[in-house]
């Protein structure tokens, strides 16, 4: 692995984050429960992590604002446009997994 300076590392990490967010925005067919079942995190988790990072730096950011950053639109609008009812199999897998933390919001 090639060593990079901290500024370049930060820029690369930011670029990867932006690409992940853009990928999530284009893959509206993939539901959060599917992400949770497969990877143990979802769009809401990413928004929570973003908000927590802001708060660690003294920046107030609401849950709604952080979700809008990740979803590219208000969360309620995304839900109305793209969220579908989870399948019984997805619900069963989610219930059996330990990937959902008590504070996780669908």
CA distance 93 to 89: 6
| Residue 91 in domain | no
- On the question of pLDDT at 103 being above 80, the answer is no
pLDDT of the residue at 106:
43
Residue 2 lies in a domain: no
Is 17 a member of any domain? no
> Dihedral of CA 40/103/75/14: which sign?
negative
Residue 23 lies in a domain: no
Alpha helix positions (H), the chain: 6-26, 32-39, 43-56, 63-71, 75-82, 88-96
10 lies in some domain? no
Going by C-alpha positions, the residue among 36, 43, 38 that lies closest to residue 17 is 43
Q: What's the whole-model pTM score?
A: 0.86
Domain range for residue 69?
Answer: 31-83
Number of independent structural domains in the chain? 1
pLDDT band for position 99 (cuts 50, 70, 90): low
DSSP 98: S
**What CATH number did the domain enclosing 46 receive?**
1.10.3340.10
């Amino acid at each position: 692995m090639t060593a990079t300076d901290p500024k370049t590392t930060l820029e690369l990490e930011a670029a990867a984050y932006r690409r992940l967010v853009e990928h999530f925005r284009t893959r509206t067919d993939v539901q959060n429960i599917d992400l949770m079942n497969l990877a143990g995190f979802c769009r809401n988790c990413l928004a929570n992590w973003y908000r927590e990072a802001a708060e660690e730096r003294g920046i107030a950011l609401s849950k709604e604002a952080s979700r809008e950053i990740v979803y590219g639109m208000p969360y309620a609008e995304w839900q109305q446009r793209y969220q579908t009812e989870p399948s019984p199999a997805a619900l069963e897998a989610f219930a059996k997994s330990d990937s959902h933390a008590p504070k996780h919001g669908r």
